[in-house]
Structure 1
Amino acid sequence: MRILLVDDDQALIDVLSRTLVQQNYAIDVATDGEQGWIYGSTYTYDLFILDWSLPQLDGISLCQRFRQHDINTPIILLTSRHGSQNKIKGLNAGADDYICKPFDVEELTARIRALLRRSSCDLLPVLKWGDLKFDTSSGQVSYQGKIIELTGKEYRLLELFLRHNQTLLSIADIIESLWSSMEYPAEATVRSHIRRLRQKLKLAGLPEDIITTLRGQGYCLKSLPSKRQNNLSVEPPDKQQQHLTALTAIWEKHQPKRQQQLASLSQTLESLKLGQLNPSDRLSAIVIAHSLAGNLGQFGLRQASKIAKDIEQLLQNNLLDNPEEIRQLAAKLADLKVKLHSKANINQQIAAQLSEQSPLLLLIIYNQS
């Protein structure tokens, strides 16, 4: 499965890319709407994930452009804009789903799976070929109950064959489905992955090679020697600690940028106190506060996210004529700096966010699948 992510928030890109690649999706990333249009109109994707607020071309306009050009790929719209009217606007623009920031990344991946299932009737959570079991929810492949360890590419190769049962897949078809547009594998590389997949399946005990080679044409999955049925089951394993480690690492990676954003807001405050804030600097500060609100909420820092939203709202007012609101802005900014100062406190909040969302994860996934 191949996904195009269009977003200009690098921290969010890192979180989503890591999570989606771990779940064996091929990811292309565009950081503005026009670049997203070039990717989306040039390559074939199974899903688009678009942020509403994009440079060059906003997510709503990009969504409309895709639909106007008869590109019917499913679209999930990400936004910090809450309220039913904004949701209606996004859906009317052609989006298939709409999720507000901050959101739980696992909820997003559950929605991705549900949306892909709705767009293709054969997207079952668990696939089978005889006693070979492929669980897309848990990421496990097993034969007669024994787990088979596969690399990401081997996993996606097997899924591709199982989902396109007895369909002839050329090397070009496989590359198009499993590699991003920035990767250019040689045909020998693809054959090497298929060879290793066959070897691992044989070592696991499969009595025959389930992948047929049609020389000069491609590959296809053999038909079962007897009638089998796909079944649905298996609860995903708990990956909370893995997500916590990844999120804290990404938090640390982008800490210098957050410090720079806080410094810019401090400079804006000083300019306000002196009555020297020009409109362009004020607009930049609003954008920074908006970005911080969404970013902090994404990491589960709800109080800090709320403070950033309050700062954004204050900056949208005419503060030059309101000393009281300038004092409120100063207090909010000081409070935000305190909230983000303690590394131990940050880690606890991220862990708490994961813990709180874990029960919701199971409910969302299995309700929508």
Structure 2
Amino acid sequence: MRILLVEDDPALSLGLVRALEREGWRVDLLADGEHAVAPGLIAQYNLAVLDLGLPRMDGMSVLRRWRSGGATLPVLLLTARDELADRVAGLNAGADDYLVKPFDLPELIARLRALKRRVHGRVTETLQLGELQLDVAHRELSYRGAPVRVSPREYALTEMLMQRAGKVVSKDAIVATLSSWESDFSENSVEVYVHRLRKRYAELGISIRTVRGFGYMMELSEPADSSHPADPPEPTDTSS
């Protein structure tokens, strides 16, 4: 997949390019709005990440030019403004999603994956393991219909494991996905998050098994006492 990133913050754009390329996506970077509306440019891309606060031409004007020119690719807007009017204006101008700065990298990646799935016609994809459900399009995790609150990184890790339920997910892949542009996510940190989720999901009849030398596998496990159905786990701190 080829992505156009239009962002003028050098530190942020460098980190985003690195993170998106780790996902296996080809990324081209522009730092101003005028270059983003060059004739024929946008037709080369499958998806765009567009900052609203751009020099020479603001992101909203860029988006309107793309849409008026017939561009149909999914566009994710980035902005430091969190006013309802700004969000509505962006969506009305043709944006497909909206993310307010500062944001967590795992959330950005998850939103881009969801936009990519929409292109391929899988808008309402749901992952399920036992009675744990993950609505990928809406980024909602639930157990027996009740919401399960998780942090952005816990969500990203859960999605990775559920997508490959019954198969091993390597520790390197987890590190790459959960890293941010501010600092790399260490293997020790992965173990902390796996331990945290393992304890929570064990109550729901789901195990996260360590496959030594390879990574982790999510699969069903028998509850300790099947005569007493599990309740959804208590919410944890969602700030990380």
How far apart, in 2, do the equivalents of 1:124 and 1:8 lie? 33
Which is richer in helix? 1
Q: Following the alignment from structure 1 to structure 2, what is the Cα–Cα distance between the partners of residues 73 and 97?
A: 12
Q: CA deviation at 1:41?
A: 3.0
Match of 1:117 in 2: 117
2:25 paired residue number: 25
Q: How far off its partner does 1:85 sit?
A: 1.4
After the TM superposition, which residues 287-366 of structure 1 pair with which residues of structure 2 at under 5 Å, given as runs? none
Work out whether 1:247 is the aligned partner of 2:178. Answer: no
Describe the SS at the equivalent of 2:37: helix
2:53 aligned residue? 53
Q: Which amino acid aligns with 1:239?
A: V
Q: Deviations over 1:169-199 (max 9, x none)?
A: xxxxxxxxxxxxxxxxxxxxxxxxxxxxxxx
Identity %: 38
Q: 2:104 — aligned with what?
A: 104
8 Å Cα contact 2:7/2:50 also seen in 1: yes
CA contact (8 A) 2:42 2:66 kept: no
| CA–CA distance in structure 2, aligned partners of residues 110 and 241 of structure 1 | 10
Give the Cα–Cα distance (whole angstroms) in 1 for the partners of residues 22 and 40 of structure 2.
22
Cα distance, 1:122 vs structure 2: 6.3
Write the letter of the residue equivalent to 2:60.
I
**Per the alignment, do residues 76 and 86 of structure 1 end up closer, same or farther by CA in structure 2, a change over 3 Å counting?**
same
Aligned partner (choices 153, 164, 168) of residue 233 of structure 1: 164
CA contact 1:4–1:29 (8 Å) conserved in 2: yes
Task: Tell me, yes or no, if the aligned pair for 1:3 and 1:26 is still in contact at 8 Å.
Answer: yes
CA change 1:83–1:22 in 2 (3 A) is same
Shift of 1:239: 1.5
Question: Which residue number corresponds to residue 68 of structure 1?
Answer: 68
Structure 2 CA distance, aligned partners of 1:23 and 1:247?
Answer: 17
1:3-42 equivalences in 2 (<5 Å): 3-38=3-38, 41=41
Name the CA distance, whole Å, in 2 between partners of 1:92 and 1:241: 31
Query: Which consecutive unaligned segments of at least 5 residues does structure 2 have?
Result: 126-161, 198-240
Confirm or deny: 8 A CA contact 2:106 2:178 kept in the other structure. no
Distance 1:108 1:53 in 2: 18
Show CA shifts across 1:290-309 (max 9, x none): xxxxxxxxxxxxxxxxxxxx
Structure with greater strand share of residues: 2
Give me the whole-angstrom Cα distance separating, in 2, the residues matched to 1:124 and 1:116. 12
**CA contact 1:7–1:50 (8 Å) conserved in 2:** yes
Offset, 1:39: 7.5
Which has the larger Rg?
Answer: 1
User: Once the 2 structures are TM-superposed, how far is the Cα of residue 124 of structure 1 from its aligned partner?
Assistant: 11
The equivalences for 1:151-190 within 5 A come to none
CA–CA distance in 1 between the matches of 2:123 and 2:92? 26
Ranges in structure 1 where 5+ consecutive residues have no aligned partner: 126-230, 250-350, 360-369
Q: TM-score, normalised by structure 2?
A: 0.54
